[in-house]
Amino acid sequence: MSLNLITDHVDKGRIYPAFARHQAAPYTQAWREFGQHWPYTIPIRLQEYCDHHGVKLNIVDIDSEWPVNAFYPVGLGFFDFGIDYFELLPERIRTGLFFDDVRVLFYYHEGDNPFRIKTRLDELCTKHDLRNNCYKFVSGNTAARDILGFVYFADFELWYYQRNRASPALKIHSEPRAFDFTVLNRLHKSWRATAMTDLRHNGILDNSYWSYCETGKLDNDNPIEIDTISGLRTRTEQFLKSAPYISDELDFDQRNDHSTLVPKYHVNSYCNIVMETHFDIGGGTFLTEKTFKPIKHGQLFFIAGPAGSLQVLRDLGYRVFDGVLDNSYDLEPNATQRWMALVRSIYFTKLDLPQLFELCRPDIEYNQQLFQASKAQRLNTLIKEINEYH
């Protein structure tokens, strides 16, 4: 099964971002900067993934004869509710939507609430007298599974695969490791500051690689009810006063470069406490490259993220050390209670990490091999779901 994509322009084999005002050539730094410019459309990641994993896309020029079941691809750097995406469409595409000759394919790697996005897109369809099945939307939020016309895809698994492919997976050695945990934070978020403060208070960071690379203040956007845990607000404020806490020699851009690898964080500690982008997103789950780093490079892991994060990994075929680690925290829908359960789970592994690591070694090795395997099947499944007409 193939995916038919209608494009305005192809440059050096790459589909040029739809609606883009920014100008750049493929394989340059500027090509990665479309998302910084209005209307924040970017090169469609799906093309890069398919090229690398040998999955064929049928790319057709907008002025040519269109195949049946064709899509006009729009890669989104972020979804801007103030933009009328249908108004920006080339006239021939908009006419094609009206006559059901083509559909728009929005590809969005982020985890924004897909229910809100659907409401906005359907409003725009009504405005332009279009049927609300004239588009498909690929989302990084698992809630997309429950929305007509939306498809969930774990984009960041493939994104980290691509961006870090020059760094071979680190060897899962049997030598003693000097540190218990790796707990890294690049950007300030109130929930992360709260979480790091609580981990430090419970002694979990005493023998760990850890960082908090930005300063900041507490705000109300904190899913952990900080005042329900005695003294936590005061301790967090004190934690932030002394920030940043740096544990590497990288600069800001290097920390945000997925091709950069600091091996000590993986080979010299047993377990990675993944501080995901969100701890709660009001429905659904969203995983990023932060989760796939310890999978590729051979560690145990806990995930400080939305409820159901571990289940997403199980669905992808990964093993999450059930029966060895206490993963019950992942089932807790209340963010505060989930955090407290996660701290308990982490705390009780601290005494036996070397033994637990060896117990889990077969699953750690399995995960590493699965991550490095071809993603052609995942991509073909995605294409099948996109092509389904409803």
Q: What is the mean pLDDT of the chain?
A: 96
The DSSP bridge pattern shows strands 179-183 and 269-275 to be parallel
- Does 171 have pLDDT greater than 80? yes
Partners of residue 54 on adjacent β-strands: none
| 295 within 8 A of 278, measured Cβ to Cβ | no
* Res 347: pLDDT: 96
pLDDT band at 62 (very low <50, low <70, confident <90, very high): very high
- What is d(CA 20, CA 42) in angstroms, rounded to the nearest whole number? 8
- Does 93 have pLDDT greater than 70? yes
User: In the numeric block, which tokens belong to residue 170?
Assistant: 């680190």
Contacts of 73 (CB under 8 A, 6+ apart): 5, 6, 7, 15, 18, 44, 46, 105, 107
Averaged pLDDT, 19-45 = 96
* Res 390: pLDDT: 60
Give the DSSP H or E segment for 3. strand 3-7
The per-residue pLDDT for range 272-315, each reduced to its tens digit, is 999 999 999 989 999 999 999 999 999 999 999 999 999 999 99
Averaged pLDDT, 353-375 = 98
Please tell me whether residue 14 adopts helix, strand or coil conformation: strand
- Does 389 have pLDDT greater than 80? no
Give the DSSP H or E segment for 152. strand 150-152
DSSP per-residue codes, 37-85: STT-EE--HHHHHHHHHT--EEEEETTSPPPSSEEEEEEESS--TT--T
Quick one: which of 319, 284, 324 has its CA closest to 305?
284
Averaged pLDDT, 23-27 = 95
User: In the numeric block, which tokens belong to residue 28?
Assistant: 């340059």
Contacts of 341 (CB under 8 A, 6+ apart): 328, 329, 332
- What is d(CA 209, CA 1) in angstroms, rounded to the nearest whole number? 46
DSSP per-residue codes, 209-250: EE-B-------S--SS-GGGSTTHHHHHHHHHHT--B--SS-
Partners of residue 284 on adjacent β-strands: none
Report CA-CA distances (Å) from 138 to 49, 73, 144, 306. 14, 11, 8, 19
User: In the numeric block, which tokens belong to residue 7?
Assistant: 């494009």
Contacts of 310 (CB under 8 A, 6+ apart): 303, 320, 327, 330
- Does 343 have pLDDT greater than 70? yes
Region of 69 (left: φ > 0; alpha: ψ -120 to 50; beta: rest) is left
Above pLDDT 90, what percent of the chain?
A: 94
Domains of the chain: 3-153 (no CATH), 166-372 (3.40.50)
Quick one: which of 202, 200, 275, 208 has its CA closest to 242?
200
Averaged pLDDT, 379-385 = 98
DSSP per-residue codes, 154-218: -HHHHHHHHHTTTSPPPP---S--SEEEEE---S--HHHHHHHHHHHHTTTTTTEEE-B------
Separate counts of helices (H) and strands (E) for the chain: 13, 13
| Cis before 168? omega within 30 | no
pLDDT band at 90 (very low <50, low <70, confident <90, very high): very high
pLDDT band at 14 (very low <50, low <70, confident <90, very high): very high
* Res 258: pLDDT: 84
The per-residue pLDDT for range 211-257, each reduced to its tens digit, is 999 999 999 999 999 999 999 999 999 999 999 999 998 888 888 88
Quick one: which of 113, 83, 101 has its CA closest to 6?
101
User: In the numeric block, which tokens belong to residue 278?
Assistant: 């969100």
Averaged pLDDT, 122-149 = 97
Averaged pLDDT, 88-97 = 96
pTM of the model as a whole: 0.96
